[in-house]
């Protein structure tokens, strides 16, 4: 298991290698999807009692860091 932040981990044996929270079977993507759908942080914490507020904040920071990269769109034949 590799920590890519203090709370975000990647393990190829867990959730198909997607980034997860502290090695739990909760993906960063899942938390971001809940937040994107309008759920509050408190609602997410109620649904996932093993999470902490800092885990949700780490997901947001992780997504922000990904957006800080440069991307190029290439045409595909």
Name the percent of the chain lying above pLDDT 70.
Answer: 96
Q: What is the pLDDT of residue 44?
A: 98
Q: What is the pLDDT of residue 68?
A: 87
pLDDT tens-digit series, residues 11-45: 999 999 999 999 999 999 999 999 999 999 999 99
Instruction: Report the top-level CATH class of 2-67.
Output: mainly alpha
pLDDT tens-digit series, residues 49-76: 999 999 999 999 999 988 888 888 899 8
Neighbouring residues of 15: CB distance < 8 A, sequence distance ≥ 6: 25, 27
Q: What is the pLDDT of residue 69?
A: 85
- Given a contact cutoff of 8 angstroms between Cβ atoms, the answer to whether 30 and 36 are in contact is no
Structure tokens belonging to residue 69: 């990269």
Residue ranges covered by each domain of the chain: 2-67
CA 68 to mean position of chain CA atoms = 16
* Among 45, 42, 50, CA closest to 24: 50
């Amino acid at each position: 298991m590799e920590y890519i932040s203090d709370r975000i981990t990647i393990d190829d044996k867990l959730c198909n290698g997607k980034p997860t929270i502290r090695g739990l079977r909760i993906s960063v993507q899942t938390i971001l999807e809940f937040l994107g759908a309008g759920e509050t942080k408190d609602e997410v914490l109620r649904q996932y009692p093993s999470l902490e507020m800092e885990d949700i904040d780490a997901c947001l920071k992780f997504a922000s860091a990904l957006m800080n990269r440069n991307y190029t769109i290439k045409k595909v034949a």
